[in-house]
Structure 1
Amino acid sequence: MTTEHGDRRDPQRSLKLLWDDRDRPARGRPPVLTLDAIVTAAVATADELARTEGLEGLTMRSIATRLGVGTMSLYRYVPGKGELLDLMLDRVIGEYEPEEDGGGLGWRDVLAREAHRQWRMCMDHSWYPFVDQSRPILGPNSLHGLDRVLGLLQPLGVDDRTLMMMVGVQSDYVEGVARSYINERRAVERTGLSGEEFWEAQAPTLEKAMLSGRFPTMAALDESTFDWSYEQLFEFGLNRLHDGFASHLGDRAG
């Protein structure tokens, strides 16, 4: 489930906040509060809340409390939570930009490195994959990352539209698996029950169902059928996704 932030912010205000030169020196006395400080506090607050409540618990009040200021003072710098989320997204994306350009890598390696970078971002900032990005606002870090990846893929000789769809499909895949994993971790935090304890509680009922003869295929499954982690699921799906790309690309696949 994603937050309803996509249509509840002013895109022009978000773009102005993202692209204005915020590092230019201020005249007179330095301000007690800055936009960068607000974004930093918002990311830290969201990281804490994401373990249990998710983004629904992130409010302007909770951010102001962390900063030790009044809630209304935040609105001098950012119109609302929607625009602030745009700034937060671009901030964390910038944390995972590689130092090297990855030149000389094949397309599989380029996409795999990008997928693992996005996965780490989702794990470190577990609110990130729950933000509605159906109408994304591209800030400097977002645009730079997309420009970098497409630039590394273009030597493949595939049309730009196909490259963009490959990047988009992979991004949706990574965030989809990340959401499932994060929801599982949140359930442990909320209930105090591990995944193993949750399934052990259901074991007597499930065993009875398996012995009933109504579910012969399920009853005959190997004992190791469900013995995998989300990290293994992520790697398996990513490789199969790339296999599909390779089949589509044919001789152009590297």
Structure 2
Amino acid sequence: MFAVTTDFSGGGDPRRSIELLWGLRPGSRPGPKPRFTVAEIAASAIAIADTEGLGALTMRKVADGLGVSAMSLYTYVPGKGELIDLMLDTVLAEVSLAFDSAAGWRERLDRVARENWQLYLRHPWLLQVATSRPPLGPHVIAKYDHELRAIDGIGLTDIQMDLVVQLVGDYVHGAARTAVAATLVAQRTGLTDEQWWEQAAPVLEQVLDPAATPTATRVGAAAGEEYNAASDPARAFDFGLSCLLDGVAARISRNPDPGDRSR
């Protein structure tokens, strides 16, 4: 389900992608009403990526799932680049765009991070897509606006707001990648982390000199007492997110002129 291979959003024809994302035209297929909608094609592709990974996704496999030829599918979507853009924008529709009216910026930004975390866990293939050129679809843009609103009016400049949203996104991406990898390692080896440590620890004790690495020995033992907390992705995510939000708060307090939104 998860591999090191990476695909890219924005890899297709940008004009055609935007047309498909926003429904500016139903497709280039001439003649009778199209058999499928673009949304149905995206849903079929997402189902493949969810169950088999992005590496298994091909236009032919999507076409087979829909019961048409690959050539027929190309009359709806020009290629895999445009298809990936559609897939990304489609899954982002799952993210809630509402905040508790009583929530402060910290609670709102925490909510943004956790929504993204859960999205990655539901669709691990998202971690394989580089999005330096994001698909400019309605759900991508709505999500970006939502995340900016979480920190609007709290003393950050517009540039800082954009950078904070990017920072949170990058942090969650890295944390989710670690969590997904941990799950896959357990699946492929047939061992939980606890079982793996139980087998490794006796051998490690034979070769490890605690006097040579006293800090690592002390901290590692403390972490191990709490079920190997260092490799518990959810616990690590919570701690890291708290530290990140503390950093944002510190940045706000240091801003010399909160009213200057241009820098």
| TM, length-normalised to structure 2 | 0.84
Structure 1 residues 65, 224: CA separation in 2 closer, same or farther (over 3 Å shift)? farther
Counterpart for residue 76 of structure 1: 75
Structure 1 residues 136, 106: CA separation in 2 closer, same or farther (over 3 Å shift)? same
Say which is worse superposed, 102-111 or 208-217, in terms of deviation: 208-217
* Alpha-carbon distance in structure 1 between the residues aligned to 2:78 and 2:197: 45
Q: How does 1:162-181 map to 2 (within 5 A)?
A: 162-181=160-179
Amino acid at match of 1:78: V
Amino acid at match of 1:151: R
Q: Is 1:192 matched with 2:190?
A: yes
Counterpart for residue 90 of structure 2: 91
Q: Is 1:116 matched with 2:119?
A: no
% identity of equivalent residues: 38
Amino acid at match of 1:246: A
Indicate the SS of the match to 1:208: helix
Does structure 2 retain, via aligned residues, the 8 Å contact 1:210–1:218?
no
Match of 1:20 among 20, 23, 38: 23
* Alpha-carbon distance in structure 1 between the residues aligned to 2:203 and 2:12: 48
**1:162 Cα deviation after fit:** 0.4
Q: How does 1:26-65 map to 2 (within 5 A)?
A: 30-49=33-52, 54-65=53-64
Say which is worse superposed, 180-189 or 231-240, in terms of deviation: 180-189
Counterpart for residue 250 of structure 1: 253
* CA-atom RMSD in angstroms: 2.6
Structure 1 gaps, min length 5: none
Amino acid at match of 1:74: L
* Alpha-carbon distance in structure 2 between the residues aligned to 1:37 and 1:13: 18
Does structure 1 retain, via aligned residues, the 8 Å contact 2:9–2:135?
no
Counterpart for residue 6 of structure 2: 3
Counterpart for residue 219 of structure 2: 221
Structure 2 gaps, min length 5: 259-263
Q: What number of residue pairs does the alignment pair up?
A: 247
* Alpha-carbon distance in structure 1 between the residues aligned to 2:235 and 2:176: 12
Amino acid at match of 1:177: A
**1:145 Cα deviation after fit:** 1.4
Amino acid at match of 1:69: V
Amino acid at match of 1:112: D
Q: Is 1:234 matched with 2:237?
A: yes
* Alpha-carbon distance in structure 1 between the residues aligned to 2:184 and 2:60: 23
